[in-house]
């Protein structure tokens, strides 16, 4: 406990820190395009498209074909394993398309949730076996950051102390292995929005979870300046009868972070967790105009909330590809503004942007 | 773990946050005048003054009858129990004298160290028994904040996991009880400067200690916005052969704090730990000039480093009162400049100011 056995050299630290800062540079956030095959099934099902590898490739191509406008609002893209090795129609690897835009490539490395016996339906996340070798390979193949999602749920008796501690520990092990291989770990301890709990309950649980996460990161000697956090915003549960304004959500979220996330962490990239595209942007904007002191970048790492309109516009038709790409660029720019606290809202709550993207018990 | 049972009402929280903000208002720090009887013995012995209750009272009177303008540099004074109930020569109670200047009154609450069996000479702190009742009484008697000093030491085998965890836990219990009774707890986990370890070692240990402290505070539901931290600066051990500049100390210290202290904590008031008056001011100044972000106030809670010159000027003689007050006023003003990064060293060195105030294995 008393002697340091440095986990990283000064050069390794600098590399990690530089990557993290590039991803969350002012006005930039992350496109989470790392849906597993199973999750893509749900997305494609909603627009009546068959879940084939080719359709998944075509769809990601729509996103990655975005023009240079995305350079100023997208700092990183998270890939699923399959996608890392796919190419565009003209044979350009997707990884290269992204890097050519000056955007950092990331990779989802967890292997999904597994049950914690003796708990009320709680889980931990697997994926540590051989993670070192996988990270080393992904680094060679162009990835500079990774993502690992843990899941906690609020109910009468959850999250339990075990679930909090176990998920925090596994996040710290993952983070440690990533950093050893030159990969910035995005640490994602998602507290699901399922339930009828109010805003305060979510804030309380989020504070407890994040405190445990950062203690575990400290115990595992993680270099915080070379990490990012991907938390839920603090919101009421989906079935909560009380409605809250974006300012209330912002205040609860920023307060929770101020009490738990060390200022050394360069950026907090929120998950959208089933919020509609517009909601996710409005809330992010409110977070960035909150009057409390915010020592980290506060930006987005959105999946559904960046892609819903694009998916709707595409509907699996090649002819719709350009229109779909345009929808994506629009949401990306809106969120880039929100990350700077400069988004004034569309005023338009209809269509795909306003539609709640909540999927019960989102496992992936 | 999942349901909040609020420890404090919103009114209680606001009262605590307001007190904390007043203590660390811009340009202000704390005079730690809470030396126990034994420790005052050490101080008075150095100037050949007998350690009587009257002499202790007389010296504190010199400090507390300083001109009211001292309140621009001093936001709070920590008193020892005996001193809280002493009066000046006109019969005015010391707390009244201090509060009239708009300075917040604090009280040392711990009851000294107790050994941790099975460790290499490590300790925890006692004082929890009846603490709630003592806090309630002190609050009635004019006190608005408390102080509790835990002690850790760096050697080849310490601090141990037990010492870190036990001291963090005791600090959290103390903090919880204080807040229940309207007192802002100053949390002091001092890592002693004894030893020949280098700056990096102190940084590593301090990071582990502070991470444990903030996890314990979170576990004990302590309201961070209504607390203050009183840590050691990150410095090399006293017998370390390598010399470091104030800038080295500043970067190591601020980096440590960025990695461990949530932004919700309003202020960090460093202990001087045996540094000379001048050293303590220069180091604090370097921190406040550092380009690293500082989401909390960085200020002082100095005992020896505010009083050494005053003691040397006093020498126990009432005719030296003005000279002693001037010496105290000067150090207070210098430290006020230092907490705004505006202290410019004049080049004049003053023997008492430069004299190292290190006492081996300082227990109080």
Q: Would you state the pLDDT for residue B361?
A: 40
Q: pLDDT (tens digit, 9 = 90+) per residue, A106-164?
A: 999 999 999 999 899 999 999 999 999 999 999 999 999 999 999 999 999 999 999 99
Reduced to 3 states (helix: H, G, I; strand: E, B; else coil), residue A2 is coil
Q: Would you state the pLDDT for residue A5?
A: 87
Nearest CB to A164 within list B1, B161, B259: B1
* Spatial CB neighbours of B331, under 8 Å, sequence gap ≥ 6: B277, B281, B302, B305, B306, B307, B309, B310, B353
Q: Would you state the pLDDT for residue A346?
A: 77
- In degrees and rounded to multiples of 5, residue A35 shows phi and psi of -60, 135
Average pLDDT over residues B22-44: 97
Task: Tell me what the pLDDT averaged over chain A comes to.
Answer: 94
E strand intervals along B134-271:
145-152, 184-191, 228-229, 267-270
Contact present, B112 and B149 (Cβ < 8 Å): no
Q: pLDDT (tens digit, 9 = 90+) per residue, A27-39?
A: 999 999 999 999 9
CA–CA separation, A237 and A3 (whole Å): 44
CA–CA separation, A104 and A139 (whole Å): 12
- Annotated domain spans of chain B: 11-347
Q: Would you state the pLDDT for residue B353?
A: 63
Q: Would you state the pLDDT for residue A345?
A: 81
Share of chain B above pLDDT 90, in %: 91
Average pLDDT over residues A87-110: 98
Give which of A21, A24, A35 is closest to A63, Cα–Cα.
A35
How far apart are the two ends of chain B, measured CA to CA in Å? Answer: 37
Top residue of B8, B263, B265, B290 to mutate, by most chain A CBs within 10 Å, is B263
E strand intervals along chain A:
29-33, 74-79, 104-108, 113-115, 123-125, 145-152, 184-191, 228-229, 267-270, 297-302
Q: Would you state the pLDDT for residue B346?
A: 62
Q: Would you state the pLDDT for residue A3?
A: 83
Q: Would you state the pLDDT for residue B32?
A: 98
Cβ pair A255:B264 closer than 8 A: yes
Q: Would you state the pLDDT for residue A173?
A: 96
Evaluate the CA torsion angle B320, B362, B82, B84 in order and state its sign. Answer: positive
Given the DSSP bridges, would you call strands B123-125 and B113-115 parallel, antiparallel or unpaired? antiparallel
Q: Would you state the pLDDT for residue B348?
A: 52
Q: pLDDT (tens digit, 9 = 90+) per residue, A244-282?
A: 999 999 999 999 999 999 999 999 999 999 899 999 999
Is CATH 3.40.190.10 correct for B11-347? no
Of the given ranges (A13-22, A99-108, B128-137, B346-355), which has the lowest mean pLDDT?
B346-355
Average pLDDT over residues B80-103: 98
User: B353 or A258: which carries more pLDDT confidence?
Assistant: A258
Q: Would you state the pLDDT for residue A27?
A: 98
Q: Would you state the pLDDT for residue A363?
A: 34
Please tell me the distance in Å from A293's CA to the nearest CA on chain B: 7
Give which of A66, A56, A58 is closest to A36, Cα–Cα.
A56
Contact present, B267 and B299 (Cβ < 8 Å): yes
Nearest CB to A1 within list B208, B261, B262: B208
Q: Would you state the pLDDT for residue A2?
A: 78
Place of tokens 């049972």: B5
CA angle B180, A204, A262 (to 5 degrees): 90
Place of tokens 């420890």: B7
* Spatial CB neighbours of B69, under 8 Å, sequence gap ≥ 6: none
Top residue of A262, A292, A293 to mutate, by most chain B CBs within 10 Å, is A262
Give which of A53, A117, A46, A48 is closest to A80, Cα–Cα.
A53
Contact present, A179 and A222 (Cβ < 8 Å): yes
Q: Would you state the pLDDT for residue B290?
A: 96
3-class secondary structure per residue, A57-79? HHHHHHHHCCCHHHHHCEEEEEE
Q: How confident is the model at residue A4 (pLDDT cuts 50, 70, 90)?
A: confident
Chain B neighbors of A155, CB-CB under 8 A: 2
B188 carries an active-site annotation: yes
Cβ pair B258:A161 closer than 8 A: no
Q: How confident is the model at residue B1 (pLDDT cuts 50, 70, 90)?
A: low
CA–CA separation, A144 and A81 (whole Å): 14
Q: Would you state the pLDDT for residue B197?
A: 97
Residue A37 CA from chain centroid, whole number: 17
Average pLDDT over residues B349-363: 54
Cβ pair A156:B2 closer than 8 A: yes
Q: What token pair was written down for A24?
A: 């969350």
Query: CB of B293 within 8 Å of any CB in chain A?
Result: yes
Q: pLDDT (tens digit, 9 = 90+) per residue, B45-74?
A: 999 999 999 999 999 999 999 999 999 999
Q: What token pair was written down for A226?
A: 């070379």
Is the pLDDT at B132 greater than 70? The verdict is yes
Phi-psi category of residue A253: left, alpha or beta, with phi > 0 → left and psi -120 to 50 → alpha = alpha
Reduced to 3 states (helix: H, G, I; strand: E, B; else coil), residue B60 is helix
A15 carries an active-site annotation: no
Query: CB of A148 within 8 Å of any CB in chain B?
Result: no
Average pLDDT over residues B279-300: 97
Is the pLDDT at B359 greater than 90? The verdict is no
User: Burial of B248 by CB count in 10 Å (0-12 exposed, 13-18 middle, 19+ buried)?
Assistant: middle
Q: What token pair was written down for B279?
A: 């050293």
Evaluate the CA torsion angle B13, B19, B23, B24 in order and state its sign. Answer: positive
Q: How confident is the model at residue A362 (pLDDT cuts 50, 70, 90)?
A: very low
Contact present, B75 and B28 (Cβ < 8 Å): yes
CA–CA separation, B225 and B216 (whole Å): 15
Q: Would you state the pLDDT for residue B364?
A: 27
Q: pLDDT (tens digit, 9 = 90+) per residue, B207-262?
A: 999 999 999 999 999 999 999 999 999 999 999 999 999 999 999 999 999 999 99
User: B268 or B358: which carries more pLDDT confidence?
Assistant: B268
Average pLDDT over residues A214-233: 97
Q: Would you state the pLDDT for residue B351?
A: 57
Q: How confident is the model at residue A296 (pLDDT cuts 50, 70, 90)?
A: very high
CA–CA separation, A150 and B345 (whole Å): 52
Residue A159, preceding bond cis, omega within 30 degrees?
yes
CA dist A219 → A109, A138, A215, B194, B211 (Å): 22, 26, 6, 25, 9
CA–CA separation, A14 and A296 (whole Å): 18
Chain B neighbors of A216, CB-CB under 8 A: none
Q: Would you state the pLDDT for residue B229?
A: 98
Give which of B125, B136, B229, B117 is closest to B177, Cα–Cα.
B136
Is the pLDDT at B333 greater than 80? The verdict is yes
Nearest CB to B160 within list A1, A154, A207: A1
CA dist B148 → A173, B117, B175, B182 (Å): 35, 21, 9, 16
């Amino acid at each position: 406990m008393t002697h340091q056995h440095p986990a990283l050299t000064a050069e390794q630290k600098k590399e990690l820190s530089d990557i993290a800062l590039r991803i969350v540079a002012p006005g930039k956030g992350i496109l989470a395009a790392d849906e597993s095959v199973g999750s893509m099934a749900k997305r494609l099902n909603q627009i009546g498209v068959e879940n084939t590898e080719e359709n998944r490739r075509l769809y990601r191509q729509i996103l990655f074909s975005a023009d240079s406008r995305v350079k100023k609002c997208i700092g990183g893209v998270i890939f699923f394993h399959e996608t890392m090795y796919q190419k565009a129609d003209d044979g350009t690897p997707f990884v290269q398309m992204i890097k050519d835009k000056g955007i950092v490539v990331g990779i989802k490395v967890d292997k999904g949730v597994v049950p914690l016996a003796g708990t009320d339906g709680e889980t931990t996340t697997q994926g540590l076996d051989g993670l070192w070798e996988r990270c080393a390979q992904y680094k060679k193949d162009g990835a500079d950051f990774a993502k690992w999602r843990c899941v906690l749920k609020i109910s009468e008796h959850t999250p339990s102390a075990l679930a909090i501690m176990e998920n925090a520990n596994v996040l710290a092990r993952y983070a440690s292995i990533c950093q050893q291989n030159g990969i910035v770990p995005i640490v994602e301890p998602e507290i699901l929005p399922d339930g009828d709990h109010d805003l305060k309950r979510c804030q309380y649980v989020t504070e407890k979870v994040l405190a445990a996460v950062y203690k575990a990161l400290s115990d595992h000697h993680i270099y915080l300046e070379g990490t990012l956090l991907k938390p839920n915003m603090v919101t009421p549960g989906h079935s909560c009868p009380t409605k809250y304004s974006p300012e209330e959500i912002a205040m609860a979220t920023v307060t929770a972070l101020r009490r738990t996330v060390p200022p050394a962490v360069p950026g907090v990239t929120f998950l959208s967790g089933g919020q509609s595209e517009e909601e996710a942007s409005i809330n992010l904007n409110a977070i960035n105009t909150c009057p409390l002191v915010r020592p980290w970048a506060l930006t987005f790492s959105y999946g559904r909330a960046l892609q819903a309109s694009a998916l709707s516009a595409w509907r699996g038709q090649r002819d719709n590809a350009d229109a779909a790409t345009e929808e994506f660029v629009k949401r990306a720019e809106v969120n880039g503004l929100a990350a700077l606290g400069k988004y004034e809202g569309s005023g338009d709550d209809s269509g795909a942007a306003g539609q709640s993207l909540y999927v019960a018990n989102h496992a992936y | 773990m999942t349901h909040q049972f609020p420890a404090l009402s919103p009114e209680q929280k606001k009262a605590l946050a307001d007190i904390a903000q007043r203590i660390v208002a811009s340009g202000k720090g704390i005079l730690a005048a809470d030396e126990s009887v034994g420790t005052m013995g050490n101080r008075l012995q150095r100037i050949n003054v007998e350690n009587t209750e009257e002499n202790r009272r007389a010296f504190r009177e010199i400090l507390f009858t300083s001109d009211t303008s001292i309140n621009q540099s001093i936001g709070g004074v920590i008193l020892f129990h005996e001193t809280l109930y002493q009066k000046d020569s006109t019969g005015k109670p010391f707390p009244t004298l201090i509060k009239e200047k708009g300075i917040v009154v604090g009280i040392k609450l711990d009851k000294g160290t107790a050994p941790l069996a099975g460790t290499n000479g490590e300790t925890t702190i006692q004082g929890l028994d009846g603490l709630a009742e003592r806090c309630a009484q002190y609050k009635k008697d004019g006190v608005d904040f408390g102080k509790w000093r835990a002690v850790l030491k760096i050697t080849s085998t310490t601090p141990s996991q037990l010492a870190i965890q036990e001291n963090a836990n005791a600090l959290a219990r103390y903090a919880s009880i204080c807040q229940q009774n309207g007192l802002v707890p100053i949390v002091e986990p001092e890592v002693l400067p004894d030893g020949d370890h280098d700056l990096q070692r102190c940084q590593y240990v301090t990071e582990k200690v502070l991470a444990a402290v903030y996890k314990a505070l979170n576990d004990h539901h302590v309201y961070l916005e209504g607390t203050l931290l009183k840590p050691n600066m990150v410095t090399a051990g006293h017998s370390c052969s390598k010399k470091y500049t104030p800038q080295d100390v500043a970067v190591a210290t601020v980096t440590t704090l960025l990695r461990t202290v949530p932004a919700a904590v309003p202020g960090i008031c460093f202990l001087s730990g045996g540094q000379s008056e001048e050293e303590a001011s220069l180091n604090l100044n370097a921190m406040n000039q550092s380009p690293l972000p500082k989401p909390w106030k960085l200020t002082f809670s100095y005992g020896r480093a505010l009083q050494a010159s005053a003691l040397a000027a006093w020498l126990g003689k009432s005719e030296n009162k003005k000279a002693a007050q001037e010496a105290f006023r000067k150090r207070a003003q210098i430290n006020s400049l230092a907490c705004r990064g505006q202290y410019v060293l004049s080049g004049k060195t003053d023997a008492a100011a430069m004299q190292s105030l290190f006492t081996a294995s300082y227990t109080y």
